[in-house]
Amino acid sequence: MINFRKLFNKKPTTGNKEREDTFPPNLLISTEDRETKIKEIDEQFFSLLLGVHSQLDVDLNSFEKSSIIRLNNLIKNKTELQKKMPRLPLILPKIMSVLKADNSTALDVANIIEEDPVLVADVIRLTNSPIYKTKEKITSLEQATVIIGRAGLQRLVTCALLKPILSAKGGHFTQLSSGLTWELSEKVSIAVFNLCEDDDENKFHAYLAGLLQNLGLTIGLKVLDSEFDASEAPHSRQFLKVFDNLCQIISLEIAKSWSMSDRIVNAFSAIVNTDTSKTSSDLHVNLYIANTLAKAQIISDKINLTPFNSEIMLNNKTCQKCIDSLIAINYKIS
């Protein structure tokens, strides 16, 4: 098994230039009609995710209480949490190892991808998506690997391997939200990739972190499924805040279990603890911004948001990188 810490670990560098020393950053999205704050975006997104009309300032109901207790106990019991965690796709370390080798070729990559017929189909399908703008339809795997290149393959293959995990369906809440969970992860990864001002290797770290950051949601939603009897719904703002934080903690534990780089683990830890001392990079700031942009784009109809009538203020300054990132996630890629 490849050690991901050695494979992905690079010296962290500064990402978004508009950050301050405080975390979370001051982010405000202004449209033609109104100003939308992060709290409002979070509430609307989670209402959409959980199938409720709105979040209310009310006490926790019995369903919310039992779900939070169950999640807290799961986080404390590392053995049980490990059992609930999705498994790292075994083919991913092999592909990353080949992509890292300076003398590797498209054929070398294609030979590994061929071990997984579903992945072959995904790579060819995604190569033919609008993002690559190929003049003719791509039909062979080797042709696809040549067109995409190493950096593109890193993102495309990782995306294809993680999509089934983030799209899993089961009970009431996982069935209701599986498409949204994947859409959020996909858009966060694209946004944070665009926000990161770095070389291809470290931009891939950001992309990978964007895909992984909401993996905890998949476990959190399954816990809600197990506690749900259709008599009560998750309506309280207090529950929303606690549930989101617990899912972020689970994402952090998954990143550790999968031996992700210190940079990714530290960024997740900083988000959980709202503490910049946990990391020396700006990845956590960019992830926080990317999550907000992705959620805003998903609920764009409700907040009248398009990249062309929006101004994004980061720490009281117009953030062009944020606007560019919003444009990048404005359409569904896969």
Question: CA-CA distance, 334 to 159, in Å (whole number)?
Answer: 10
Confidence of residue 13 (pLDDT cuts 50, 70, 90): very low
Least confident range from 168-177, 210-219, 318-327: namely 168-177
Higher pLDDT, 89 or 1: 89
pLDDT over 50 at 12, yes or no: no
pLDDT over 80 at 266, yes or no: yes
Confidence of residue 11 (pLDDT cuts 50, 70, 90): very low
Residue pLDDT, tens place only, 237-249: 999 999 999 999 9
Residue pLDDT, tens place only, 90-107: 787 777 677 667 677 777
pLDDT over 90 at 39, yes or no: no
- Tell me, letter by letter, the H, E, C secondary structure of the chain: CCCHHHHHCCCCCCCCCCCCCCCCCCEEEECCCCEEEHHHHHHHHHHHHHCCCCCECCCCCHHHHHHHHHHHHHHHCHHHHHHHCCCCCCHHHHHHHHHHCCCCCHHHHHHHHCCCHHHHHHHHHHHCCCCCCCCCCCCCHHHHHHHHHHHHHHHHHHHHHHHHHHCCCCCHHHHHHHHHHHHHHHHHHHHHHHHCCCCHHHHHHHHHHHHHCCHHHHHHHHHHHHHCCCCCCCCEHHHHHHHHHHHHHHHHHHHHHCCCCHHHHHHHHHHHHCCHHHCCCCHHHHHHHHHHHHHHHHCHHHHCCCCCCCEEEECCEECHHHHHHHHHCCCCCC
Is this model's pTM higher than 0.75 or not? yes
Mean per-residue pLDDT, 107-130: 81
